[in-house]
Amino acid sequence: MASYRSREGDITAVDTKTELTTLGSQATPGALLVPGAATRIVQIIAAIGIAPVATAKQAAIFIRLEGDGLDQESPSIMVQGAGGLVTTSGGEMYGNLVIIPVEIKAKAGAIAIFAEMAGVDLGTVTIGVTLVFQ
């Protein structure tokens, strides 16, 4: 049976490693612990929202997993490519949900989820990430 662990946060600057530490109204949900009997992460679900941009820009959004709950090298996973178009009303907002099948070995311990924007600074990017364990 699958177990789910989620975190979210805002990326506010390009090329800045940002830990996702909140979960909606839970400002301090504590460490993201690998569920008791889980031995692997089988899916990553990421929801991305990008505020309207004033000029045409492009960036890539990726996540990194780190911590003693990983039983392998820390992976970096691309979750979104994004671009903004200028319109007469000031720009477009972009949002997307991606589900990525993975095979990442896990063990008892904690995992930190980091998000980063590479390319051109899009302003604030809000991202929520769920790890699916088995």
Domain borders along the chain are: 3-21+31-133
What is the tens place of the pLDDT at every residue in 45-79? 999 888 766 667 788 889 999 999 999 888 888 88
Whether 120 shows a pLDDT value over 90: the answer reads: no
What is the DSSP code (8-state) at residue 106? B
What is the tens place of the pLDDT at every residue in 7-35? 999 999 999 999 999 999 999 998 999 99
Question: What pTM was estimated for this model as a whole?
Answer: 0.88
Domain 3-21+31-133 has CATH 2.60.40: no
From residue 100, how far is each of 10, 42, 112, 131 by CA, in Å? Answer: 21, 8, 18, 10
What is the tens place of the pLDDT at every residue in 82-108? 666 655 565 556 678 899 999 999 999
